[in-house]
């Protein structure tokens, strides 16, 4: 599950999240503490994504960075 991928690789993933979604602050990312749902919610609030779109964006991000489920 992608939530497990984010939590398991959090130290590496959080820097990449800031690069991918530059409108998110360091504080935003720190508060997520590896939560897939928190990231999706923050993308919805910050970028105006619908829930499904936010999750798709995260999944594409994970796949592009080779963190997807294998």
Question: For 11-60, what is each residue's pLDDT tens digit?
Answer: 888 999 999 999 999 999 999 989 999 999 999 999 999 999 999 999 99
Q: 47 to each of 7, 52, 66, how far by Cα in Å?
A: 22, 13, 24
Q: Contact 43/21 with Cβ under 8 angstroms? A: yes
Q: Which helix (H) or strand (E) holds 59?
A: helix 51-64
Torsions phi, psi for 66 (to 5 deg): 65, 35
Q: 21 to each of 36, 42, 69, 70, how far by Cα in Å?
A: 14, 10, 22, 24
The predicted model scores a pTM of 0.86
pLDDT > 80? residue 70: no
In this predicted model, which residue has the larger pLDDT, 2 or 36?
Answer: 36
Torsions phi, psi for 8 (to 5 deg): -70, -25
């Amino acid at each position: 599950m992608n939530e497990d991928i984010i939590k398991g690789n959090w130290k590496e993933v959080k820097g990449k999240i800031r690069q991918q979604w530059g409108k998110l602050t360091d504080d935003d990312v720190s508060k997520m503490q590896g939560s897939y749902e928190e990231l999706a919610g923050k993308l919805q609030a910050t970028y105006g994504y619908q829930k499904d779109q936010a999750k798709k964006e995260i999944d594409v991000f994970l796949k592009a960075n080779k963190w997807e489920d294998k």
